[in-house]
Amino acid sequence: MTKRVTLRDVALEAGVHVSTASRALNEDASYVVHPETIARVLDVAEELGYSPNPLAKGLRTNRSMTIGMVISDIENPLFGPIIAGVEATAGSKGYSTLIVEAAEPDHTALSPVVNALVDRRVDGMILAMATRTGENAAHLKNLNVPVVLVNRAIDGASFAAIVGDDHHGIGLAVNHLAELGHTRIGHLAGPQETSTGLNRLRGFESHMDNLGLDHGPEVVVEAEWYQIEPGFKAAATLLDMRPDLTGLVAANDLIALGAYHAIRDRGLEVGFDISVTGYNDMMLLDMIQPSLTSIRVPYREMGSEAAEVLLEMMAPTDGDIGEPKRMLRPTLSARESTQPVRVAG
């Protein structure tokens, strides 16, 4: 077994005291060390392959060097890029990420999970799940652990949140269909208990209104959740009410894929008879038939920014960053599921 290189090994090779080597390798304490000594210690550390022991560092700083991350569905490909962004940014500062799942829409599932993370002495938490009304907001506030929300926000609660600009994103989908000649457009809304579901519905209504198109309740059906089966049920209900619709704007990609099944059950063709847009632009959407037009959200950047904000909140400084809400702008990925409206005749 290869012996782990220790700080004492680095100090001995560099010809300095262990405490000097420690300060030289610590960005927050290196200002007291001569620059030439810092350079020598860094060179030796790299040559020997030294990496700090996070457990030992945690004992010195009373930190676990771990952040907790809660997601709602570990099988949902939406979360992969968010997790990657969190881990890359947190890892660059020596933090490990502990990822756990709390199933939505079970509101009772979150509290036991966050309590378990607190018991594991995480230094902060990133939640990639939250209901708009924040049933667990008071509990989260009482944890005395910094919390950052990602992809969701809680109404009226002062948590830091990194989210996508849902109003702009859904507008890209509506305007794209309108440019293709569609005027009878329906919306397969996400669950209204989530900020994403509500904001995308409001965005749909606003942009349809700007275009002078019908956006009343007869062209909107809410899916029970962000999954394929609820999307199928919502699309079937909407198409039963309004079989004349030529375009569907779905609140996420999985709901859109459910709509594919509902359209085909009616003997119709996605794209040719009814155009469909998704939201999130998950991986492999270009591989399905027809490839799905979707709204691309910079989820890796979202995860990275969430980690950056959390690191700021955990930093031992007197500065107060407040509770920022940052919005990232999505873009349109146009594919085969959206085609010019068919002209009858």
pLDDT of residue 24: 85
> What does the pLDDT look like over 24-71, one tens digit per residue?
887 766 777 888 898 999 999 888 888 766 555 554 556 778 999 998
pLDDT, position 345? 44
Per residue in 223-235, pLDDT (tens digit) is: 999 999 999 999 9
Rounded to 5°, the CA angle 281-285-290 comes to 125
Burial of 18 per CB tally in 10 Å (0-12, 13-18, 19+): middle
Q: Which residues pair with 329 in a beta bridge?
A: none
Mention every residue, 6+ apart, whose C-beta is less than 8 A from residue 319.
none
Which amino acid appears at position 61 of this protein? Answer: T
Q: How far apart are CA 76 and CA 339, in angstroms?
A: 28
pLDDT on residue 20: 87
What pLDDT is attached to residue 257?
97
Domains of the chain, first to last:
7-52 (1.10.260), 62-164+299-329 (3.40.50.2300), 166-296 (3.40.50.2300)
- pLDDT (0 to 100) of residue 130: 65
State residue 117's pLDDT score.
Answer: 86
* Assessment of whether the complete model's pTM goes beyond 0.85: no
Low-confidence stretches of the chain (pLDDT < 70) are 1-3, 28-29, 52-62, 104-109, 130-138, 156-157, 316-324, 344-345
Which of 306, 267, 261 is closest to 90 using CA atoms?
306
pLDDT at residue 3, rounded to an integer: 67
